[in-house]
Amino acid sequence: MSDICNKCGMLKDLCVCEILDKQETAKIKIYTTSKKFKKLVTVVEGLDPVHLDETASRLKHGLACGGTAKDGIIVLQGNHKKRIPELLVKLGYPKEIIEVK
């Protein structure tokens, strides 16, 4: 017997809760800022806190860089503003909610 999703009550094989959570997210903001010793970092705000660590891990792997996820934001080492939107779309986030500053 298949497992049942606790959130929607459907079979886990048919559950779309994760996709819906990603679509309900407000605006995702991507911008760069300077940190210690004038090093650039890219900040990603507005992601779902439930999937924050997994998304950060996939972004770091896809961009071949270091970074961290805490307090609802992802901070990646280097300037990756141009590449992050395409990776987020591949992860299932709608392109319409991604805003690059």
Spatial separation of the C-alpha atoms in residues 92 and 20, rounded to whole Å? 10
| pLDDT at 86 (0 to 100) | 94
| pLDDT at 24 (0 to 100) | 55
pTM value > 0.85: no
For the stretch 54-65, pLDDT in tens is 999 999 999 999
Spatial separation of the C-alpha atoms in residues 88 and 98, rounded to whole Å? 8
| pLDDT at 63 (0 to 100) | 94
* Neighbouring residues of 32: CB distance < 8 A, sequence distance ≥ 6: 40, 41, 42, 43, 79, 81
For the stretch 3-22, pLDDT in tens is 777 667 777 776 776 666 65
The topology under which CATH files domain 26-100 is: Translation Initiation Factor Eif1 (3.30.780)
